[in-house]
Chains A and B, each alone.
Chain A
Amino acid sequence: MAAPSYGLIATFETAPEIYHAAQVVRDAGYRNWDVISPCPLHGLDKAMGLRRSIVPRISLAGGITGFCTGMSLIWWTGAYDYKLTVGGKPLFSPMFAFPVSYELTILFTAFATIIGMFVVNGLPRHYHPVLKYSQIKRGMDDAFFIVIEARDPRFNLANTTALLEKAGGKEIKELEA
C-alpha cells in the first residue's frame, strides 16, 4: 500500500446486523467511526454510543447573545448615544426593550442552531473518501456500511479487519484517503 488509507469499510445487509455490529464496534472502544444507512434507524444512536448533540448549548449561547444584544441596542441608542424621550417614558426601561430583545433572542437562537448544526455535522462538505468506494451508492438504497477511520487511536489494519469480520461485516475494503 503506497497511499495512506482513510480507513476500512464493511458492508452489512440488514438493519439488525448493522445494529449489532455497531454495538460491537462501540464496545471495542473506537471513536472515529460512522455508520452509513439509507434510512434513520431508531436506537442506533445508543448502539453507536453517541451522546446527545451539543447543538442545544450553541442555541442557548445564541439566545443569550441575542437577548443581551437587544437590551444593549435599546439602551445604547435611546439612553446613551442619543438621549431621546419618547411618550414621556424613561430613557431606558427593560419594558420597551423587551420586545426587541425577545425577537433578537429568537433570531440569534435560530442562527446559532442552524450554523451550529452545520458546523457540528461538518457540513457543507464537497468530498469524502467513502465517495470513491464503488459500492457506496448502495448506502442510499439497500445496504448498510460501517466505516472505521485510520486516525482512530485503536485502528490497526489487521485487528480492525478482524473486528469487522467478527461483527458480521462483508466485503471489508480499505478506503483510499
Chain B
Amino acid sequence: MSTAATTAPATPTASLAGRALAVGFAGLALTALGALISPDRHGIAMSYLVGVTYWTAIAIGMLLMILIHHITDSSWSVVLRRQWEHGLAAFKWLALLFLPLLVLAWLKPGYVWPWMDLKHELHGHGTVGTDILYQKKAVLLNLPVFTGATIVFFLSWIGLSAWLRKASFTQDSDGDVKWTYSSRKAAALGLPVAALTLTFAAIFWVKSLEYHWFSTMYGVWFFANCVRGALCSGVLIMVWLYHRGDYRGIVNSNHFHSIGQLMLAFTVFWAYVTFSQYFLIWNANVPEETFWYNLRELNHDGTTNQWWYVGLVILFGHFVVPFLLLLSYRFKVTPHIIRRIACWVLTIILIDLCYNILPALKDGHGDSRPFLSVNLLWVLTSVIGVGGVCVWAYLRSFPTTKLIPTRDPRIGECLSHHD
C-alpha cells in the first residue's frame, strides 16, 4: 500500500470537471433548442423526464449504498463509500434540473402528467375530472401535493447527503469516532426516509403518467434500478481510479468481487420484482392493470408494437445476460470485463426507464408512439445534459477531500479486505 496515495488529498480533476460541465451544457442546450423548434414538445418533455429520473435514480442508489454501508457497519466498502459521497453532490443540481418540469406542470397542467389537467380528454371515455379512478386518487394526485412532495423528496435527499458528507469529510481531519456514530444514526433515520421518498418519487414522476394503473411493486422496481445504477457507477469509478493509479494498492480483487456479488444479487432482485409485477397482473387479468402492459405490447388493432421487442430486450438484457455473466468469478474480478458489464447495465437501466415513461405518449388511436423515433435523440441529449452536470458535480467534489476516508475506524479492514 503506498502511503502517498492514502495520505495525500485526491489529485485535482478541474479540467475534467470543466469538460463534463461543457458536455452537460451542450446536451441541455440541444434539448432546450429542440423544445423551441420541434413541433413535438410533448415528446421532448417526456424525454427530459427520462433524463432527470435516470440520474436521480443513480444518485438515490448511491445514497442508499452509503446508508446500507453505515447501518450494517460494513468494512469492505469504506474506500468506495467516499466516491459515492462525492456522487451525492449532484442532488442539489438535480433539484435545479427538475425545476423546469415543475414549472411546466404549473404553467401547462397536463402537459407531462395528464391528470394535472381535469379537462384532459381520455381516449374513449370523457375527461380526467369525470373519471372515477381519478376522483378516487385525487387526494394524492393533485398539483399542490405533487409539488410539495417533490420538494420534500429533494430536501430529504439533499439533507441526508449533507449530513453524511459532513460526518465523513470532517472525520478525515479530526479522526473522531463520533462521526461514525453520527452516520449510523443518519442511516437508521435515513433508510426509511429514503425508501418512502424514492417510492413516492417513482409513483408521482413515473407511474402517475398512467394514473389508472395499480402496482404495489412499482417503488421496489425503482429501488432495484437505483441500486443497480449506483453499483455500476461505483464499478466505473473504481476501474477509472484504478487505471489512473489512485487506487493502486488500495483496492484489490476482493473489492471487485464484493461489488460484483452485489451487482449479481440486485440483478436477481430486479428480476424477481419485475417478474412478480408482470406475473401478478398476467394472472389476475384485470383490465385496470393489464392495459399498462397492453400499451407496451399491442396496438389497438392487435398488431405487435415496438415496445414488445423493447420489453424482450429488457428481459434478456437487464436480467438473463448480466445474470449469466455475473455468475463468473473471473468476470467479476477482471476490471475491463466488469466495466463492460457495468456500462451495459447502465444502458439497459435507461431503456427500462424509457419503457416505463415513453409509452405514455399516445397517437390518435390511443396507441403508444413507437420506441424508435426522434424522441430517442431527445432522451440522449437529456441524459447527456443532466449527466454532464452530475459528473461535473462529482468531479468538483472529488478534490475537496482525501481520496479515501483515512481515519475511518474500518479503513484498515477495508484495505486488507479478503473474502
Q: Which A residues lie at the B interface, using CB under 8 A?
A: 42-43, 52, 56, 60, 87-89, 95-96, 98-99
Contacts and interface: CB of A to CB of B under 8 A. Distances in A.
19 contacts: A42-B416, A42-B418, A43-B418, A52-B329, A56-B327, A56-B329, A60-B327, A87-B283, A88-B285, A89-B283, A95-B278, A95-B279, A95-B282, A95-B283, A96-B279, A96-B283, A98-B275, A98-B279, A99-B279
B280 to A, nearest CB: 11
Give the interface SS of chain B, mostly helix, strand, loop or mixed.
helix
Nearest to A40: B418
A96 to B, nearest CB: 7
A87 B285 CA distance: 10
Interface in B276-304: 278-279, 282-283, 285
Interface of B: 275, 278-279, 282-283, 285, 327, 329, 416, 418
Given A60-B327, A95-B283, 17 more contacts: A42-B416, A42-B418, A43-B418, A52-B329, A56-B327, A56-B329, A87-B283, A88-B285, A89-B283, A95-B278, A95-B279, A95-B282, A96-B279, A96-B283, A98-B275, A98-B279, A99-B279
Contacts, number: 19
Contacts of B327: 56, 60
Nearest to A52: B329
Contacts of A60: 327
Contacts of A98: 275, 279
A56 B329 CA distance: 9
A29 B278 CA distance: 56
Nearest to B330: A52
Contacts of A52: 329
A98 B275 CA distance: 9
Nearest to B276: A99
Contacts of A99: 279
